[in-house]
Structure 1
C-alpha cells in the first residue's frame, strides 16, 4: 500500500457491506476449495475462491446486480446500456431480467461465441462493434445518448466496485485472515473492491494484482504512478483486454494494492489446464490469472495463508481444446519446475 497524489474515490467498506445485503439471497455464496497437492508443492495454505460457480459464471454478477439495484424507477424504465467482452454483459443481462430492467450490450464482434449466446439467452440485446477500428466507449456513449439509457460501466463505477468487493469479503469471512490475496486485474474493479475488503477484514494481508504480460498497463501504471494505456491488447485473457485502469480504480489500486505482477500467455494456459485437470475447475483464461502467479512460482511465500480469486469460467470449449493441445507434451518432473508446468 502506497501514498499517492490522487484524490481517493469515496468507496468504503460500508459500501461493500451494503452491497452484500442487496446480493443476499440472489447471488451465490461461491465455494472456497483447497488442494493438498497445491499446499504441499507451494508449502502454503491456499484457498481458491471459485467465482466460476457464481451466477452467469463469473464475479461480474455481484457488481451488476448491486448497480442495477440502486437505480431509480425512472432509470429502470429507460433501461441500461454497457460495453463488455462477455462476462459483464451476461451479468448485467441476468440482473436486468431479475429486476425487470431492459439491457443493451455493446460487444466486440470477436467476443467468444459462448458469451454472446449466454448474453442473448439472459434476454439482453447486443450491438456489435469492431474493436480494431472503433472505440467501445465512444460507440456506447453515442447509443446511450440516442436511447436515453443509463450507462453501467464494467469496472469504473462505484456500485460495481462495491459489489465485486463482496467476493473477498466472503472469502475472508469464511476462512479467516490471509497473508496474501491474489486477484486478476483488467480494468481494476474486482481488485479495487477486494483490496478495500481485505484492508478492513484482514489488515495485514498483502493484496497482489495479476495481469497478462501482453496487457500489462495496470502493472506499468502501478510502478510508474502514471496511467498507462495499451490499445487492443492481444492476450488470450479476454477479460483483461481493457486498454487502461479507470479514474476510480487507478487511485484505489495505488492506495490499497501492495504489488502487481504479470504472467505469460503460456503460463495462463498451463495454469488453466492444471485447474481443469487436477482440481476439476472449469475456468477461462482470465479466471486462471491469479492462480498462475502462484502455480508458476512468481509468487512464493512459504508458510503463508494465500487467497486466490478464480474470477470466472465462461470459456468456449472448442477454444479451450485448442489451447490445451499445446500443453499435452509431458515435461520432465523436477521440483525446480513451476507447479502448473510440472503437473501438466
Structure 2
C-alpha cells in the first residue's frame, strides 16, 4: 500500500463502516501522554504539518522547553473522526501524577481546559464534576511519547512497565510508542526497553521544530505510517463486541478505584513513616539516655580517680612526715647527749 492509499484509508475511516457498526463510537482520540519535556507538543506539530502537507507551524505552542508549556488537554482535529489530544505531562511518575495521567487518558477530564494536579480525593471530585463535559463516544488510543535522548534507568523501566500495564487495563488497548530524536545513539536501547515492557507498535520520528522547520519526506512517511497503524489497530479493536457507554463507566470506576487504592497506600505509607519516626525517636532518646548515663559514669570514674590520687598524695605526704619523725627519734636515741638540754 503506497502513501496515497494509506492517506485515503486514514481520511475515510468511520466507525459506521466497521463490521459491527459504530457500537456507540464516533471518533478516535489519539491520547498523547508521558513525562514532561519529551516532545508531545512537537510531535503534534509534526503530525499536523505532515498530514496537511504544510510548512512548519507551531500549532501546539511547543518551545525550547517542549511540552512543559502544556498545562491542559488540548485537542487538534485531523479529520472529522480523528482527534489528537495533547495531555499535560508529568515531571515524575509518583502516584499523584500517574493518577492524573490515567484520568486524562481515560477521557474523564474535559478537553481544551486546564489540568491541575490534585492531592487526596480532589481528582475524584474533578472527575465527577466533568461528567457532563466528556463523551463516551470517543474511542481512546493511548500514545506514549518518549524522548530518546533520555537514557532510561532500571527504576524508570519498572515505573513504565507498571504504567503501560495500567494504561492497557484502563483502555483495553496496548499503548503505541512514539520515540522522538530518533537519530540519537540511544535509539536501539530505548526500542529494546519498550519491547521488553510489552509495546507492540513503536514509531521513531525526528520532529519538526522552529530550528528544523523544513519539510522532510521521511518525516511525512513516518507520520502517515503511524496514523495508518493506528487505524488498523482501531479496526481490529472495533471488530470485537464493545459498548461505548459501558467502557466509559468502566474507565471511571477504574480510575476512582485507583484513587481510592492510592490514598490507602499513601495513608499506610504515611502511617509506617510515622511509626518509623516514632521508633527512631525512641531509639534516639534511648541512645541519648545511654550516652548520658555513660557520661555520668565517666564523670564518676574520673572523680573517683581524682580522689584516689589525692588520697595517694596524702598518704605519701603523711608517710614521708612519719618517716622524718621516726628518723629524728632514732638519731636522738643514738646520741642522747646531743639531745639532753644544757644547765
User: Bigger radius of gyration, 1 or 2?
Assistant: 2
If each structure's helix is expressed as a fraction of its own residues, which one has the higher value?
A: 2
Q: In which range does the TM-score fall when normalised by the shorter chain?
A: under 0.3
TM-score, normalising length from structure 2?
0.25
TM-score, normalising length from structure 1?
0.25
